[in-house]
Structure formats: structure tokens, C-alpha cells
Amino acid sequence: MERTEFINQLKGLDTDGKTTIDLYNEISSLAMNYGLSGAKEPADRNAYYLSMEFLIGRSFFNNLLELGVLEETRNILAQKGIDINVFEEIEDAALGNGGLGRLAACFLDSAAGLGLPLQGYGIRYKYGLFKQAIVNGFQVELPDDWQRFGDPWSQRKEEEKRTVKFADMTVTAVPYDVPVFGKRVNVLRLWQAEGNADAEKISEYLYPADDTEEGKLLRLRQEYFFSAAAVGELVEKHVKKFGKRFDNFALYDAIQLNDTHPVLAIAELIKILTADYKVRFSAAIQIAKETFSYTNHTVMPEALECWSADLIKKILPDIYALLMKLYSKQKKELKKLHCTRGEISEMAIYSPKKFSMANLAVFIGNTVNGVAKLHTKILKNDLFKTAYKYYPEKFQNKTNGITQRRWLMLCNRELSELIDKTIGAEWRSDISKLSGLNSHIERVADEFIKIKAEKKRQLFEYIEQHEGIKIPDHFIVYAQVKRLHEYKRQLMTAFAILEIYKGLKDGTIKNFYPSVFIFGAKSAPSYKRAKAIIKFINEIAGKVNADEEMNGLLKVVFVQNYNVSYAEKIVAGTDASLQVSTAGLEASGTGNMKFMMNGAVTCGTMDGANIEIVELAGRENNYIFGAEVDEIERLKSEGYDPCALLKTNALHNYAVSSLIDGTFPDGDTGCFKELYDALTVGASWHKPDHYFVLHDLEGFVKALLKINADYQDRTVFALKQLKNTANSAYFSSDRTIEEYSSCIWKLKK
């Protein structure tokens, strides 16, 4: 279909009396037809991205942008008296929790944009990540029935359904294909589980814990379900094309395992090859080794998946038998390499009663990669140090990225147009050109300041509508938006705000430029301490916002239901991006990159990709504080006493005591006391202040106040912000995907 035909159909669309949802479905279908008509033959060699999560967000605007018809659609609808923004009523497809799922979506976007054949495989959850409301300061979870708007961006492929067998049930896996538009049209294939009620449960809910194990049996079924459906299909396609020879399998198929969730795909491939096609065990292992690669996303011990051997034996006896056999093979291989017994048990895929998914992925994986320089270094020197000793060639770094199409062009049209005007529009198809902006920043600073003000105004308007809090236009915006987790240290930001509040009240902080702190975060429903932190922040917000002395000086907002669409607004309207994880614990972060690209300075620790951000944009243009990894290590080994800090630092004591001195009510849950105890005496297996909140707090407050002081020369501060935008090309997922493609997948354009 020609572009003009799409435009004509759109012009001819009868919009009278139709609801927004009707129009959404009709326009989306037109665009689908147009987009799919541009699809080419499938490539010979493809890479497949297996991921439990794809945090897509809204497809409507993004797909129209990718198809190059967004502006015309906007205009045509305007002529019909429809503001295209009404489609913001359509809620996000949130088939993911946070960074890991959003990364998967950015990767698909970039591969299609670059013309690289990368296909996605995942699960079509009936309910995505819960919708969050804040009631009395507490998080309340509501089901996310995203399909109630219709799902015009996917096509059910009835004839390509498959069966996935468990010992106790057989499940039908029905594919829904979501096209990913760009230079190529790629496909995200999401499997829906069908059959009896138990079978359907498998694709009913996205697990809301992104870093802890939960609901083990169902979670195991989910992981096996989509992995087995994907691998089964790939083998079948291969056999159709080449007959029953598999020595060339890895020439055509590269499979990337996004974290350990799809790692059972390894066992499934070996199982199918040996059982159904009589490939020798060692040959099947070799094929798997050439096919799979593994991306690690976290070094937090509680997030490294292990599956109970009994559980696997019970519902997947063939996989259990195969894994045990593979374990014997592994031991032989490691003995040949002269590993010690200790080393073998460190790397073993099986240790009494459980299988380690990470060890399996590292053993079979053709490559193993971390997602930022520091993270990869930690993988090599710490988490997988023994494997690195014996298989150094496997290890690679692939620093994460974000797609500039959604995270700049779409969410910040105004800044994008300024860039066009300044350096030409080539950066839109070749992001490396963005660095050209460096030589013009003085010239465009004034216009940048106007644009930032406009994006702030838009954000504040949205916040007023949705949260009922009015923020004056000139306020500095500090934002911390991301999943709620202790290691991300939203609690430290809460304390910092309290200290600033106190300083403003008692006059020790002078010349403070009016500021708002914006938080957005969902907590896993079962993560009590994270939920307590949400409540605490909301209590602080309530107190500060109600204090008349603070009126016009300080505001705190916790936005409800932080998701991709909210993120699009927040990243564009922020001045300072808070990225304050305990050094060594945030593998990369991608939120940090979105903010940087939109011209926010980073106020953060030397962790994850912050290090690379600062390297590229200049430390002088960002605000770095806090312990670095070696210091954290030293504190851990030499001992760290947060209570001593509380005794000597009255401000810290004021902030932390507010948890227990009756300043803030916790609804009689005891949850604030529990937070206090975790900081001062330790809780469960953690030492007191396991995440070094109090250690880094003083430096953090100083950094926040430095930003506040620097901002008062608006031009000088804008130059810092622009330096961040101008040097953000490296954090485009186009760069990341080019690297995956050339170093791991070896794809052709």
C-alpha cells in the first residue's frame, strides 16, 4: 500500500459519533495494513530475543512515528476537529515491570529501525503490570486489563499454534504477532496459553516481582511455556527448510536470553534434538552452545534464579533428566580444564536439590554479557569470576541503550525540532550525528531554556490533572522515577528532602531556588519495605505541600501509576535526574539515559551507566557523589556503623528519627519502625543499613544544593544540560543493537 493511499483512507474516515476507542481501533487498523504492506521476505539468518517482559507502552503514537505518518495524522485529525492527544486515553501495554522489559522493547525498535532481523518472543499476558493507585499514602494494586481497549496492533495466528506439554497438563500456545515497524518490519511473537482453566492461568498475569522469586510453580510454567513454544517452532521451521540436519542450525538462528527467565530454552532445544531427531547428545550440546547467548541483568544474589530440582522433576521430568545428564557432561568438561572441586561446584548447573539458571546460561552461552562497563567488570571479577577464568572469550560488555525515537523524537518534539534547526535532520536516521550539537550549545542555550520551560509546563499540567497538585512553572524539577527498591535508594532521597526542608525552616539553607521533587515508582506487591518507603514519601509530600511556609519554595509529588507514558512526560520536563543506587548494584539503568538525552543533568553515584554518562558528558556537567564500588567493598569488610553516623550528624538523626518519633503516621502498620530497624539494627539477613543510605546521604544533600545554586545562573546550567543531550548518542539503543549484531548475532542488513 502506498503512503498516499493510507492518507486518503484516513481523510475519508468517518469520525462522526465514534468513541475514542472506536477511532483508536480504526486508525490503528489502517496503519497496520499500511505498515504490513511494507514487510519484506523474512531474512535467512535471524536473531531471536527471548524475554519474559516487553514493556511496550503506547503503540499508537510510536507506530505512526515509525511509519512516518504521525504529523500528517495529527493534521488530518485536527481538520476533523479531533486532537490526536485524545488517544492518550488508551492505556499502556505494560507487559513488563521496569528496565529489563523496557530494554527489550527498545531493542526491537532499534533493530527494526536499523533494518536488522531481530524477532522477539514473549508472553501475551492477559493482565500486565498492575495499575497503581495511592490511597492514604499506600500503594493499592488494581488489575491492568489492557485489552479492554482492543488490541489492534497484534494479529492472532491461529494456524501456527503449538502445544507445550507438562507432566500434568497440555497447553496450547497461540501466537499473537505484534509487528515492529522500521526499515524492516520485524515481529514480536507473544504466546497466549489456552486450554482448560489451569492452562489459561499461565498467561494470565505478569509476575510483578522483577527481581525476586514468587509463585514458584506458576512462574516456572510461564518460563518454560514461552521458551518451549519458541524453540519448538524454530526447530520445526528449520526442518521444513533443511530437513533433519542441524549442524547448520546456528548458522540461521541466534537466540538471545534476556536474563535467566528463558534459560530453559537451552534444555528444550537439546531435548528436542536428541529425543525427536536422534541427534547425539554431545552434538546437540554443541549446537546449543553455538545458538544461545546470555545477558545478565543483575548481580543481586536474591535475584539469581535457581529452580528446585524436585519441582522441575515433577512437572518437566524430561527436562529434569536432561539437565542431570548435562550436569555430568559439564563436570567432565570442567575436569578436563583442570578446575578444582571448589571451582566445579561454583560453576555447576546443579547443586544438591536445585538448578542454577545463571550457571546453565554461562556454561552453554556462546557469549555472556553485562549491560554496562562496570557491571561487566563485576561479572568478570566477582559474580562469574571462575567461569571468566576458564572461558574468558565468552565475556563481553554491551552497555544498554534507549531508542531515541520514543525517548526524544516522540516525547520531546520541541527539542527534536531545535536539534533539526541547529544541525540538520540527519541525526534522525543516524544518531551519531547528534554530537554535532556540541559546537552550537552556546548559541541555542536560550531556546533550550524556553523548550525546557514548555516541557515542564506540560508536565505540571498533567500532574495537576492526575495528582491534583499544582506546581508553579518556574520550579526546578528533580525526578526519581523507577521501580521501588531499597538498592535504588528512594529512601535516601526522602531523607534528603527532609533535611532540606529542615534547613529551609530554620534558615540554615539560604537562597534556595524553588524546587519540586517528583517520584514515580511501583513496588512489588509483596515487598513490604518498598511499600513502606512509598508511604513514607507520601507522608513527607503531605507535610511539605501543606506547610504554608514552603509554599512557593518546595514541593514533593509522588505520581501514581508510573509507566512508560508517564515517563515520556517526566524525562522531557526534568532538570536533574536522580540516579542514586548503592554503587555496584544498578547493573546499568536506562532511565538515566532517557533523562540525559532530554537534557537533564545526572545527580548520581558512580554506578551502572552513570559512569559512562559522566565520561561522555563531562563530570563537570553532572553531580556525582557517594561511595564508589571499592569504598563500599571496604566498608563491608572493615565494618560500617550507621548508628555512629546518627549520633554525630544531627540532621541525619532528625530525618531518620522521623520514622519513629510520631512525626509521620504509618497507619498503625509498624512499617516505619521496620524501616528504622533495618537502618539501625538490621533486618532478616541484612546488616544495618545494608544499602549505605546514611553513608551517602550527606554528599547527596550537598549535590542537590549545588544543583540548586548552579541553576540560578540559568544559562550556565542550560549549557550543562545541553552537553548531556549533545553527548547522548552513545546511549541510543541503535548503538547497542549494532554491537549485539556485529559481536554476537552476526546479522546482515
Ligand X SMILES: *Cc1c(COP(=O)(O)O)cnc(C)c1O
Q: List the catalytic residues.
A: 297, 482-483, 488, 590, 594
Cβ distance to ligand X smaller for residue 166 or 519: 519
- 590 versus 602: smaller Cβ distance to ligand X: 590
For residue 500, the minimal CB distance to ligand X (Å) is: 22
User: Residue 564 interacts with ligand X (CB under 6 A)?
Assistant: yes
Stretch touching ligand X by CB under 6 A, among 96-104, 412-420, 623-631, 644-652: 96-104
Identify which of residues 365 and 591 has a Cβ nearer to ligand X in the complex.
591
CB of 567 to ligand X, least distance (A): 4
Stretch that binds ligand X, among 334-342, 436-444, 542-550, 561-569 (CB under 6 A): 561-569
Cell numbers given for 613: 554518562
**Only segment of 97-105, 214-222, 255-263, 313-321 that touches ligand X (CB under 6 A):** 97-105
> What is the smallest separation between the CB atom of 418 and ligand X, expressed in angstroms?
23
Interface residue with ligand X among 589, 599, 626, 642 (CB under 6 A) is: 589
- List the one residue from 567, 580, 629, 679 that touches ligand X (CB under 6 A): 567
Task: Name the β-bridge partners of 50.
Answer: 121, 257
Return the number of the residue (403 or 538) whose C-beta is nearest ligand X: 403
Min separation Cβ 204 and ligand X, Å: 22
Is the distance from CB of 212 to CB of 97 less than 8 angstroms?
A: no
d(CA 98, CA 210): 8
Instruction: Please report how close the Cβ of residue 562 comes to ligand X at its closest, in angstroms.
Output: 6
Q: Based on CB atoms, which residue is closest to ligand X, 293 or 480?
A: 480
Please report whether residue 489 would count as binding ligand X according to CB under 6 A.
Answer: no
Q: Indicate the residue among 515 and 590 with the shorter CB distance to ligand X.
A: 590
Residue (of 225, 124, 98, 372) closest to 106 by Cα position: 98
- Between 378 and 655, CB nearer to ligand X: 378
**Segment interacting with ligand X, rule: CB under 6 A, options 72-80, 120-128, 586-594, 621-629:** 586-594
The grid coordinates listed for 138 are: 499506600
489 burial (CB, 10 Å; 0-12 / 13-18 / 19+) is: buried
C-alpha to C-alpha distance for 526 and 131, rounded to whole angstroms: 15
Assess 99 for contact with ligand X (CB under 6 A).
yes
Q: Is 739 exposed, middle or buried (0-12, 13-18, 19+ CB in 10 A)?
A: middle
Indicate the residue type of 683. A
Is 592:355 a contact under the CB 8 Å cutoff?
A: no
Smallest distance, ligand X to C-beta of residue 646, A: 29
Write out the three cell numbers for 287.
549446537
C-alpha 500/C-alpha 492 separation (Å) is 12
Collapsing DSSP to helix, strand or coil, 16 comes out as coil
Cα separation, 613 vs 595, whole angstroms: 11
Q: Which residues, in sequence order, are CB contacts of 77 under 8 Å at separation 6+?
A: 15, 83, 84
Q: How far apart are CA 456 and CA 471, in angstroms?
A: 10
Question: Binding residue for ligand X (CB under 6 A) from 58, 102, 375, 569?
Answer: 102
Restricted to residues 144-183, the positions that interact with ligand X (CB under 6 A) are: none
How long, in residues, is the chain? 749
Strands 46-50 and 253-258: parallel
Of 119, 132, 422, 563, the one binding ligand X (CB under 6 A) is 563
Separation CA 534–CA 558 (nearest Å)? 8
Stretch of residues binding ligand X (CB under 6 A), selected from 185-193, 329-337, 588-596, 680-688 = 588-596
The rounded radius of gyration (Å) of the Cα atoms in the chain is 26
Least distance in angstroms from the C-beta of 256 to ligand X? 19
Question: Min. distance of Cβ 749 from ligand X in angstroms?
Answer: 27
Among residues 158 and 302, whose Cβ is nearest to ligand X?
A: 302
Q: Side chain identity at 492, as an amino acid letter? A: M
**Residue closest to ligand X when measured from CB atoms:** 591
Choices 98-106, 268-276, 532-540, 549-557; region in contact with ligand X by CB under 6 A: 98-106
Using rule CB under 6 A, residue 120 touches ligand X = no
Of 10, 67, 82, 98, which lies in the binding site for ligand X, with binding defined by CB under 6 A?
Answer: 98
Stretch of 14-22, 201-209, 269-277, 559-567 lying at the interface with ligand X (CB under 6 A): 559-567
Could you give the angle at the alpha carbon of 78 between the alpha carbons of 74 and 81, nearest 5°? 145
What's the grid cell of residue 446?
536560550
**Should residue 58 be labelled a site residue for ligand X when binding is judged by CB under 6 A?**
no
The CB-of-99 to ligand X minimum distance in angstroms stands at: 3
Are the CB atoms for 319 and 223 separated by under 8 Å? no
Number of residues lying near ligand X (CB under 6 A): 12
370 binds ligand X (CB under 6 A): no
Number of Cβ within a 10 Å radius of residue 265 = 29
The verdict on 482 binding ligand X (CB under 6 A) reads yes
| Whether 712 contacts 706, CB under 8 Å | no
Binding pattern to ligand X, positions 329-368, x when CB under 6 A?
----------------------------------------
Q: Is 590 in the site for ligand X (CB under 6 A)?
A: yes
Rounded to a whole number of angstroms, the minimum distance from the CB of residue 132 to ligand X is 11
Query: Half-sphere exposure of 83 toward its Cβ, with a 13 Å CA cutoff?
Result: 4
Q: For the purposes of burial, counting CB atoms within 10 Å of the CB of 493, is it exposed (0-12), middle (13-18) or buried (19 or more)? A: buried
DSSP assignment of 21-41, as one string? HHHHHHHHHHHHHHHHHT--P
Where does this chain bind ligand X (CB under 6 A)?
98-99, 102, 482-483, 563-564, 567, 589-591, 594
